[in-house]
C-alpha cells in the first residue's frame, strides 16, 4: 500500500521512445547526452510542439549515476573534475566516502529566478543562529552532472543567461559572498527552449549554445491523430503506457551507454576536419566555436551508430544543427539558414 502511494507521488514522464516526429530535437538531445562538451542545445519552435515533454523524457531515460552520499553537488566518487573541494580533500586524505546511485538530475530554471537562487548564497538563518557562515547551494549545484532546462530562455534576464553560459562553458560556479569564496563543479547539459515569436536571443548568447534545433507543428493529419491518441492513452493510464515502452527505452539507454564508452576512441580524419573548417569559413561564421562543436557532434553521432571513424554522412547529419544559429542575419536573404548550411556543405564536400 505504501509503495503504491509513493509511486503515485512521482510524476509520470512520457517515454522518450514513444515521442513521434521532431527527430532533429531528439537527435540534438541524444548527442549532448553522449558528449556534454558539445555545449547544450537551443530548441526554438511553435507552441505546443512537445519541447518540454521531450526534454523531461530524455532525462528520465538516462542511466543512474553514482554520487557521494549527502553531497549537495552530486560529486563524482572518483573523477576529481566532478568533485567539490570538500570531497576532493577527503579523497586526498584517503577517507572512504559512502556512495549511492541517483537519477540524472533534471533542474528547471524558472523565469523569475534570482541570481542567489541560481548560483547559491549564504545561509542567513544558520549565520544568525549558530554564528557560522554556511553556503546554501543554488540550482547550478543541483544541476551538476545533469540537465539544466530553461523554458522560454529568450525571456530570461540577460545577466542570468550570462551566468548560465559561463558556468556551462567552464564547468565551474564561483560564488563570492560576505567574505566567503565558494567554487564548485557545475557540469551540465544546458537546454533552452523558446518561441521565436516572443523574441530572439542576442547573437553572442545564441552562439554559446552548441546546437540549435528548429521544430515546427506537425502538418500531416494522420500523424497528428497518432500523437493525440498516444497522449490520451498516457494520460488515461501512465504506468501501463510506460511499462509497454520499457523494451524500447532499455534498448536506447544501452545504445547511449555504448556510445559514451566508444566516444573517446572515435576518430575524425584530418581532411574531414579541413572541410568542416572550410564550410565554417565560407559561411563567414565568427570564431572557431562552430568548427569545434561540429567536430564533437560528428564524433558523437559516429559513436552513437557504433562506428570508430567519422564519415561524411555523420557530418551531414549534424552540421546544420551546429551552424545554423551562428550565421550572420541578413534581412534581405530569402534562403533559410539551415538550407544555406546544407548548400555550402554540398559545395565543399561534393
Q: Are residues 273 and 329 in the same domain?
A: yes
pLDDT reported for residue 8: 46
Q: Are residues 202 and 114 in the same domain?
A: yes
The pLDDT confidence band at residue 268, using thresholds 50, 70 and 90, is very high
231 is catalytic: no
Distance CA 82, CA 67 (A): 10
Query: Residue 269: which domain range?
Result: 263-349
Q: Are residues 46 and 145 in the same domain?
A: yes
pLDDT for 315 beyond 50: yes
The beta-strand segments (E) located in the chain are: 41-45, 65-68, 99-102, 106-108, 120-122, 135-137, 146-151, 172-177, 180-185, 188-194, 211-215
Cell digits for 215?
Answer: 521544430
pLDDT for 203 beyond 80: no
Using alpha carbons, list the distances in angstroms from residue 67 to 15, 24, 101, 143.
25, 32, 6, 13
Q: Are residues 167 and 50 in the same domain?
A: yes
Q: Are residues 47 and 192 in the same domain?
A: yes
Task: Return mean pLDDT, the chain.
Answer: 85
Share above pLDDT 70 across residues of the chain, in percent, rounded to a whole number: 92
- Residue that is last in its domain, among 198, 216, 234: 216
H or E element at residue 54 = helix 51-61
Report how far apart the first and last C-alpha atoms of the chain are (Å, whole number): 64
pLDDT for 2 beyond 50: no
Q: Are residues 30 and 172 in the same domain?
A: yes
Catalytic residue among 145, 187, 208, 289: 289
* Pairwise pLDDT comparison (303 vs 201), residue with the higher score: 303
Residue 289, φ and ψ in degrees, nearest 5:
-60, -35
pLDDT digits (tens, 9 = 90+) for 141-165: 999 989 999 888 888 887 888 888 8
Distance CA 181, CA 164 (A): 18
Overall number of domains in the chain: 2
pLDDT reported for residue 292: 94
Does a structural domain hold residue 193?
yes
The pLDDT confidence band at residue 335, using thresholds 50, 70 and 90, is low
- pTM, entire model: 0.86
pLDDT reported for residue 139: 92
Amino acid at each position: 500500500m505504501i509503495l503504491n502511494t509513493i509511486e503515485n507521488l512521482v510524476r509520470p514522464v512520457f517515454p522518450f521512445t514513444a515521442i513521434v516526429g521532431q527527430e532533429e530535437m531528439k537527435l540534438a538531445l541524444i548527442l549532448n547526452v553522449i558528449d556534454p562538451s558539445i555545449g547544450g542545445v537551443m530548441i526554438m519552435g511553435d507552441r505546443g510542439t512537445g519541447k518540454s515533454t521531450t526534454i523531461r523524457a530524455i532525462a528520465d531515460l538516462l542511466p543512474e549515476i553514482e554520487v557521494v552520499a549527502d553531497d549537495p553537488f552530486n560529486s563524482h566518487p572518483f573523477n576529481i573534475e566532478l568533485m567539490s573541494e570538500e570531497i576532493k580533500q577527503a579523497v586526498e586524505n584517503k577517507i572512504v566516502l559512502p556512495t549511492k546511485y541517483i537519477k540524472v538530475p533534471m533542474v528547471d530554471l524558472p523565469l523569475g529566478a534570482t541570481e542567489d537562487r541560481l548560483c547559491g548564497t549564504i545561509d542567513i538563518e544558520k549565520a544568525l543562529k549558530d554564528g557560522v557562515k554556511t553556503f546554501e547551494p543554488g540550482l547550478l549545484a543541483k544541476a551538476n552532472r545533469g540537465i539544466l532546462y530553461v523554458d522560454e530562455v529568450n525571456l530570461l534576464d540577460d545577466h542570468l543567461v550570462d551566468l548560465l553560459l559561463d558556468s556551462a562553458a567552464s564547468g565551474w560556479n564561483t560564488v563570492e559572498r560576505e567574505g566567503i569564496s565558494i567554487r564548485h563543479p557545475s557540469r551540465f547539459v544546458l537546454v533552452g527552449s523558446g518561441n521565436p515569436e516572443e523574441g530572439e536571443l542576442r547573437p553572442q548568447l545564441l552562439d554559446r549554445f552548441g546546437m540549435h534545433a528548429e521544430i515546427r507543428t506537425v502538418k500531416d493529419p494522420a500523424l497528428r491523430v497518432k500523437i493525440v491518441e498516444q497522449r490520451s492513452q498516457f494520460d488515461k493510464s501512465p504506468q501501463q503506457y510506460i511499462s509497454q515502452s520499457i523494451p524500447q527505452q532499455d534498448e536506447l539507454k544501452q545504445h547511449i551507454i555504448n556510445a559514451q564508452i566508444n566516444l573517446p576512441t572515435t576518430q575524425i580524419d584530418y581532411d574531414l576536419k579541413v572541410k568542416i573548417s572550410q564550410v565554417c569559413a565560407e559561411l563567414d561564421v565568427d570564431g572557431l566555436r562552430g568548427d569545434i562543436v561540429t567536430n564533437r557532434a560528428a564524433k558523437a553521432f559516429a559513436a552513437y551508430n557504433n562506428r570508430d571513424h567519422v564519415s561524411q554522412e555523420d557530418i551531414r547529419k549534424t552540421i546544420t544543427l551546429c551552424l545554423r544559429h551562428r550565421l550572420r542575419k541578413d534581412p534581405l536573404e530569402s534562403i533559410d539558414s539551415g538550407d544555406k548550411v546544407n548548400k555550402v556543405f554540398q559545395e565543399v564536400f561534393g
